[in-house]
Amino acid sequence: MNKRAAPSTESLEAGCRPRKQIKYKKRRGNFSPKFYDDLSKVWLTPRALRELDRRNAARPPLASRPPVSASSSPSTTVAQFARHGGPSLCHLRGCIDSKGTTQIPTSKSWSYTPDSKMSKRTSAYDTKFEQGLAEYNIFTDYYHLRRCRRGYSTPEPENLDDIVQALSKSRDSQSPTRDLSAEFQKLKRANSRVITHACTRSALLPVIKSNSKEHDGEYGLRFKRLDSITKRTTVDPAPDLYDGSYPSSLHKSVQQDLGDVITPTHHYNAPVLPNFFLEIRAPEKCFEVVKRQACLDGAVGARAMHALQNYGAEKPVYDGNAYSFSFVYHAGTATLHMYAHFPTAPQNEGGAPEYQMKQVDAFFMTKNREDFVAAVTTFRNARDMAESYRERFIEAANVRAEGKSQPLAEGREELQ
């Protein structure tokens, strides 16, 4: 019985060696031409260069010319060159004929329908996101710090002292009979184990907001119902948590008149008038990304509160107070930042209002028990404060909707 010859070592290695898989890099979609047209300064990013290539390719081709014979070449006499306007350049490649040429239209006059697969809106992960917000008068606090170097002052809400005082109120959960050490240790363990965004939100959010009273909030809903505050050049906000009020608490006339700015989603029972937001991010995500998201969240909330505050008024009033608040928790640094958002009057007559962002406080939540207690106290008091502002403005707007006269709510009243 013949034995089959054993395969050689080289053949085994060749057969076991896996074939190298060719990885095809998926080309990332580009933004719409309008996005680049609206930018005051365009950075030379790969997407911007691709848009430039697309626009150059859309230009009309240069008219081709027949080759110039030697007999038609210009005279070698300088005087003859001068009398006939100089030498002819028609034999040079790419020379544009001055006769019959039409001016190439600018990018803003082009008629272009972007491909849905290749056109996208900016998100907080794009480096141009903050610049895009500034184009629509939405400013981060860092933006103002850079402007301060050129003589600008950093805007602050007029009711900042009232906000700080309301945040410092002690709560029943911090009484001597209740020890928060267990919650502090739970946060430290959870923060050290989280990896993904979903895990971070599910593990840490209950600890941060626990033992607070019930609020009308929702988790992870994208704000598709609102009129885009950036003309749809950025993605819609989708905070990890937002607080609002039930639609039934608003007069029907108010809901119909202000629906585009106070109703964030198409869910009929989702809270409206959002003015409290929380953004949570995993350790590997950049803090600046989540902060940009909070900036957009807070601006949407500030616009909603300002619209309700001025409901029925002939001319909008800008009192400089902040009624919209956002929190940012970054698991990589275990820090909780609080921001206040408020609108200011337009710089020019007929212009758009500006939406400011001011950091109120920041906490290192895993440092010690004292910092943890201060952080959760601020967070839970801020939720109560935001709810108090909503209830006050809703009550005043409902009265005006019913035809009764009532002055605009004053923002500097003490919270009860």
Give 134-154 pLDDT, tens digit per residue: 888 999 887 766 665 555 667
Residue 50 falls inside a structural domain: no
Residues 288-295, mean pLDDT to the nearest whole number: 92
117 band by pLDDT with thresholds 50, 70 and 90: very low
Give 170-222 pLDDT, tens digit per residue: 766 555 445 688 889 999 999 988 888 888 888 888 888 876 667 888 999 99
Residue 57 falls inside a structural domain: no
* Maximum mean pLDDT: which of 3-7, 77-81, 241-245, 399-403: 241-245
Q: 């990332």: which residue's tokens?
A: 28
Phi then psi dihedrals of residue 219, to 5 deg: -125, 125
Q: Which residue from 365, 389, 340, 339 is spatially nearest to 205, judged by alpha carbons?
A: 365
Residues 114-120, mean pLDDT to the nearest whole number: 44
Residue 416 falls inside a structural domain: no
Q: Which residue from 54, 2, 17, 6 is spatially nearest to 33, judged by alpha carbons?
A: 54
Beta strands 119-120 and 217-218 are unpaired
Residue 155 falls inside a structural domain: yes
Structural domain count of the chain: 1
- Cα 284 from Cα 44, distance rounded (Å): 27
Residue 117 falls inside a structural domain: no
Give SS3 for 374.
Answer: helix
- Cα 156 from Cα 167, distance rounded (Å): 17
- Which residues of 70-141 form beta strands (DSSP E)? 119-120
> Is 90 exceeded by the pLDDT of residue 45?
no
Beta strands 119-120 and 30-31 are parallel
- Cα 247 from Cα 33, distance rounded (Å): 38
- Cα 192 from Cα 320, distance rounded (Å): 40
Residue 56 falls inside a structural domain: no
- Of 15-29, 76-90, 329-343, the one with minimum mean pLDDT is 15-29
Give 302-326 pLDDT, tens digit per residue: 999 999 999 999 899 999 999 999 9
Between 118 and 230, the more confident residue is 230
Q: 């074939």: which residue's tokens?
A: 19
Angle at alpha carbon of residue 272, lines to 267 and 276, rounded to 5°: 120
**CB crowding 295-319: b at 16 or more within 10 Å, else e:** bbbbbbbbbbbbbbbbbbeeeeebb
Residues 216-237, mean pLDDT to the nearest whole number: 91
Residue 241 falls inside a structural domain: yes
Length of the chain: 416
Q: Which residues contact 156 (CB under 8 A, 6 or more apart)?
A: 358
According to DSSP, residue 102 is labeled: -
Retrieve residue 259's tokens.
């629906």
**CB crowding 29-56: b at 16 or more within 10 Å, else e:** ebbbbbbbeebeeeeeeebbeebeeebe
Mean pLDDT for all residues in the chain? 79
Residue 7 falls inside a structural domain: no
| Residue 350: domain span | 141-401
- Cα 139 from Cα 157, distance rounded (Å): 14
- Cα 305 from Cα 163, distance rounded (Å): 16
- Inter-axis angle of helices 197-209 and 181-193, to 10 degrees? 170
Q: Which residue from 102, 169, 121 is spatially nearest to 296, judged by alpha carbons?
A: 121
